[in-house]
Amino acid sequence: MKNTINFIVEEKSDKKRSDIYIFNKCPEISRTRIKNLILNKRLKINGKINPLPSKKVNIGDSITLEIPEPIQVSLKPFNFKLDIIYEDDDLIVINKPAGISMHPGPGNYDNTVVNALINYDKIKLSSIGDGLRPGIIHRIDKDTSGLVVIAKNNLSHKIISKQFTEHSIDRVYNALIWGKMRPQSGVIETFITRSSKNRQLMDVSFIKGKKAITKYKTLKVFEGKSIPTLSLVECKLETGRTHQIRVHMNFKGNQIVGDKKYTKKYKKLKNVNDEINERIMNLNRQFLHAKVLGFNHPKSNKKLFFESNLPKDLKKIINALEKSNQLNVVK
Q: What residues are labeled active site?
A: 141
Q: 53: closest CA among 43, 62, 63?
A: 43
Instruction: List the one residue out of 311, 294, 179, 200 whose CA is nearest residue 247.
Output: 200
Residue type, 275: E
Q: How far out from the chain centre does Cα 96 lie?
A: 13
Q: Name the CA radius of gyration of the chain, rounded.
A: 22
Distances in whole angstroms, Cα of residue 316 to Cα of each of 270, 278, 286, 292: 21, 11, 14, 20
194 DSSP β-pair partners: 202
Cβ atoms 149, 295 nearer than 8 A: yes
Angle at 218 between CA 217 and CA 220, to 5 degrees: 155
Q: How far apart (Å, rounded) are the C-alpha atoms in residues 261 and 198? A: 10
DSSP for 34-66 reads HHHHHHTT-EEETTEE---TTPBP-TT-EEEEE
Work out the burial of residue 72: count CB atoms within 10 Å of its CB; fewer than 13 is exposed, 13-18 middle, 19 or more buried.
exposed
For residue 77, give the DSSP letter: P
Rounded distance between C-alpha atoms, residue 187 and residue 190, angstroms: 10
